[in-house]
Amino acid sequence: MRIVHIANFYGPNSGGIKTTLHELGSGYQKNGHEFFYIVPGPKYIKEQTPFGTKVSLPSIHLVGSGGYQVIRSNKQLLNLLEFLNPDRIEVSDRFTLLKVGRWARKQKVPSVVFSHETLAGLAEKYLPLLPQQLRNSLVNWHNRKLSAAFDCVIATTNYAAREFEKIGVRNLHKISLGVDLTEFNPTNRNLELRNQLLNGARYLLVHCGRLSPEKEPGRSVQAVEKLISAGVDVRLVIVGGGPLWKNIRKQSLNLPIEMVGYVADRKKVASYLAAADVVIAPGPLETFCLSALESLASGTPVVASASSAVGEILNLSCPQPAGAVAADDGQSFANAIANVLRDSSRRKSARTQAEQFDWSNTVSKMLQLHGSKEITGDGSERLAAA
C-alpha cells in the first residue's frame, strides 16, 4: 500500500519527529509498502531517500521558534495528496493540518494523527493567565475537533493519552515509539572521548535536546549548580540548539558546562550518550522523549521530570530502575542525579529497559492499524479502515 506521512516542524535541526518519520519509512518499505513523506522546505523538491520519497513544499518560518517551519499552502498540499492517491495518510501535527484529516475522510482514505504534544500542558505553560476552567474547555474543544477530523488518534504513552481519555475519545490508540538498538548501544562508550568531555571532572552529565522553553533546559544548569555546591564533581555537556541558546550560555557562565550545539551526526550523538554517567531530561511536557530512550539504549540511566511521560519508560517500580524522576526544580534534580550516580547497576538496567522498545514493534503495530493486507495490481484498491 502507499502510505503518505505529512509533518510540519520537520527540518535539518529537528529531532524526534524526523527520527520517527525515518524509522517508520524504513520499516514500511521493509514490509513491502511505499512511503512518501511531505515536509516543509525552501521550495518544491522531490527526492529519493533511504526512508522513502521525500517531498518538500514551500514553507514559512515561525518567528522565535529557532528554525521551525510549516508548509505555506494547505491548498498546494491537498493538490499534492490528490496526485499521490495514497492508501493511508499519517499526520504529525495536531495544530495546522486538520484539513488533511477532513480531506482524507471526504476521499475515503483512512487517516491517523500522532499526538506528539500535550495540549493541556502547553496551555498551562503558555496561557497561565486564563482561568483553568477556560483552559480546560479550550483543550477539550481542540481534542474533540482533532479526533473528529481523523480516523485514529495515536498517543505514544499513557501520559499523552490522558487528555483524550478524559473526554472519552473512542478512536484513540496507544502505540509507543522505538529506538535504534544497534546505533545506540553501550559499545559506543569511548573512554578517550569520555575523558576529553570530563576535562578532569569525576562524573559526566549530558543534556541532549532542543533548547526551547517547553523543554526547560535551564533546569539542567540549575542541577549542576546545586551539585557543585554540594561538592559533587560533575561536568555537563549540552547537546542541542534552539531559541534559548544565549540564555543557557549566560546561565552556564562560571560552571563546568560545555555547549556543543546541534549535532547532526547520529553516531556522534550516540557516542556522547554512551560516554555519560547520567543523561538529564528535564522537560516537564515530554510525551515520549526519544533522546531519553536513546540514552537508555546506550546504557546510560536518565533523570527526568516527574511531570513528564519519561518515567513510564524508566521501569521505576523495578528494584533496579533505569533512572529516576525529580520534581521540577534544580535541587530535586540534583538530588536524583546524585542518587543515580551512586548506583552503577543502573547502566545494565537502562539497556535492558530500552530493549523493550525496538522500532520493529512500532512499525508492526502501525501496519496492523493500517491493515496488513498488501495492495495488489495497480495500487488503486482500498483497504477497509483498520
As a whole number of angstroms, the distance between CA 232 and CA 340 comes to: 13
Summarised one tens digit per residue, pLDDT across range 160-212 is 999 999 999 999 999 999 999 999 999 999 999 999 999 999 999 999 999 99
| pLDDT score for 61 | 81
Indicate the CATH number for domain 2-178+358-370: 3.40.50.2000
Reduced 3-state DSSP string for 124-170: HHHCCCCCHHHHHHHHHHHHHHHHHHCCEEEECCHHHHHHHHCCCCC
| Grid cell in block for residue 102 | 477532513
Res 385: pLDDT: 31
User: Which DSSP letter does residue 338 get?
Assistant: H
Question: 229 with 221: CB under 8 angstroms?
Answer: no
Degrees, nearest 5: CA angle 242-245-248: 130
Task: Kindly provide the b/e burial profile for residues 293-319, where b requires at least 16 CB atoms within 10 angstroms of the residue's own CB.
Answer: bbbbbbbbbbbbbebbbbbbbbbeeee
Residue that has been written with the C-alpha cell 550516540 in this structure: 270
When computed from its CA atoms, the radius of gyration of the chain, rounded to whole angstroms, is 21
Any idea where the domains of the chain sit in the sequence?
2-178+358-370, 186-354
C-alpha 126/C-alpha 123 separation (Å) is 5
pLDDT reported for residue 96: 87
C-alpha cell at 67: 528554525
- Residues of the chain with pLDDT > 90: what percent? 82
This prediction has a pTM of: 0.89
The DSSP H or E segment spanning 56 is strand 52-61
Dihedral sign, Cα of residue 135, residue 137, residue 143, residue 149: negative
pLDDT digits (tens, 9 = 90+) for 126-172: 898 899 999 999 999 999 999 999 999 999 999 999 999 999 999 99
Confidence at residue 13, expressed as pLDDT on a 0 to 100 scale: 62
Which helix (H) or strand (E) covers residue 6, if one does?
A: strand 2-7
Grid coordinates given for 260: 556543543
Own/partner long-range contacts of 16-22 (Cβ < 8 Å, ≥24 apart): 16/116, 16/177, 16/288, 16/289, 16/290, 16/291, 17/92, 17/116, 19/290, 20/92, 20/114, 20/177, 20/290, 21/51, 21/92, 22/50, 22/51
Tell me what pLDDT residue 64 has: 62
Segments of the chain with pLDDT less than 50:
373-386
Block residue for cell numbers 500522532: 114
186-354 CATH pick, 3.30.1330.20, 3.30.300.30, 3.40.50.2000, 3.30.200.20: 3.40.50.2000
